[in-house]
Structure 1
Amino acid sequence: MKNVLDPDEIVTFRDTPPPPGTSPFADGAEPIPESIAVVPYDPIWPDRYREIAERIRSALGMRALSIEHVGSTSVPGLHAKPVIDIDLTVADSNRESVWLPQLQRAGFTLTVREPWWYEHRCLTVETPRCNLHVWSPGCPEAYRHRLFRDWLRDSDEDRELYRDIKLTAAEASNSHGEAISAYNERKTEVLRQIYQRAFAAAGLLDR
């Protein structure tokens, strides 16, 4: 993966499906549907992020090139699932042997492996609940996460719009007993609309 970001890569979503016969789930099992709770913003969430970030730094030291609080819990005032989303950048997310064992010893569990999609890995921890996304330098998806976060922190209108679609999607997915992937799909159209405004504000569409 390139370390220099191309604006075209940032504004182009790569919805790459798994290769035939391949599962993104580390244990090969589909996640069990669970009730999706979207709750009002909790001011304790930044403290939970700092707690987990320190655990990551203690485990990886200088191998943690960057650690970012992303997702809805990183946006003050935004409703969210009470799960801390963190983006971790390492030198090469594909070289699991140099970062994964340390995180596993620190209590993280590898749940998702997607080498076909930006070499993405996702680990989880239950206390406090966290999704830890691991990327290599120059990943467009990690950049988009930061851009989306910063845009929602500044835009009252889009923050409310995103809150509303999250609540609607959670209600619909819970009523159908769906997994989290269906909840995410229900948000996609509005999510992409907000992204376009963030891209425009950042000058990424001025070409």
Structure 2
Amino acid sequence: MTHRSDRRRPDVTTVELVGGVEALHLELHDPDGRWADVYLEHRARIRAALAAVDAGVEHIGSTSVPGLAAKPIVDIVVTVDDITAEEDYLDALLAAGYELRVREPGHRLVRTPARDVHVHLYERDDPAVGEYLLLRDHLRADADDRALYESTKRSLLSRRWDDMNAYADAKTDVILAIKARAREARGR
């Protein structure tokens, strides 16, 4: 098993956005039980593609929270032992029909050609993974924070966004407050 301290090569140091910035239209959809089915379908596809790799696969993001309105994009996080060993996972995911969208320090993103499934790749011990799961689990359990998060997204989506990252950045303060309450609820 490879750990951060004994990587075979250094990670990338810049953000590569394959295809450049994309103009997009964002809208929230009512909760859809099919999102869980889409996740399960892609989890099986990812596990088949990465059969030779010890990879974790989790449904994250708003589509992973029953009862929460969301952009109709299913987010999945996949953990691998060494993010720099792209030959262990990237070619297999590309062969399985995903397209590379982002390569940045500690993170890769592949997605479906239809852009309806985003697969985020991190190393197993990356703190970002725990943060995704903390938010997901708290929103699944706390109706008040789930409503706050949804109303924040609805408010932000009333504006025009040229880039998904700018929209995501605008939610940061609310997400940090929700995660602080999640930590408090967990007693840490």
SS at match of 2:128: helix
For residue 121 of structure 1, what is the aligned residue in structure 2? 108
Aligned counterpart in structure 2 of residue 151 of structure 1, from 133, 138, 147 = 138
Aligned counterpart in structure 2 of residue 69 of structure 1, from 59, 68, 74 = 59
Q: Distance in 2 between matches of 1:2 and 1:98?
A: 16
For residue 121 of structure 2, what is the aligned residue in structure 1? 134
Q: Distance in 1 between matches of 2:164 and 2:88?
A: 30
**Structure 1 residue 139: Cα displacement:** 1.0
Q: Distance in 2 between matches of 1:186 and 1:168?
A: 11
TM-score with structure 2 length normalisation? 0.89
Q: Distance in 2 between matches of 1:41 and 1:53?
A: 20
The Cα RMSD (Å) is 1.9
Q: Distance in 2 between matches of 1:78 and 1:192?
A: 18
Q: Does 1:167 align with 2:154?
A: yes
Aligned counterpart in structure 1 of residue 166 of structure 2, from 178, 182, 204 = 182
Alignment of 1:1-207 (within 5 A): 22-25=14-17, 27=18, 29-115=19-105, 119-127=106-114, 129-172=116-159, 174=160, 177-204=161-188
Q: Which amino acid aligns with 2:134?
A: L
SS at match of 1:89: strand
Q: Distance in 1 between matches of 2:77 and 2:57?
A: 6
Identity %: 35
Checking the alignment, whether the CA contact within 8 Å between 1:56 and 1:64 is kept in structure 2 is no
SS at match of 1:171: coil
Unaligned runs of 5+ in 1: 4-17
Q: Distance in 2 between matches of 1:196 and 1:62?
A: 37
Does the C-alpha gap of structure 1 residues 38 and 143 become closer, same or farther in structure 2, counting only changes over 3 Å?
A: same
**Structure 1 residue 184: Cα displacement:** 1.0
TM-score with structure 1 length normalisation? 0.81
**Following superposition, which runs of at least 4 residues in structure 1 exceed 3 angstroms of deviation?**
none
Q: Which amino acid aligns with 2:45?
A: R
Does the C-alpha gap of structure 1 residues 160 and 190 become closer, same or farther in structure 2, counting only changes over 3 Å?
A: same
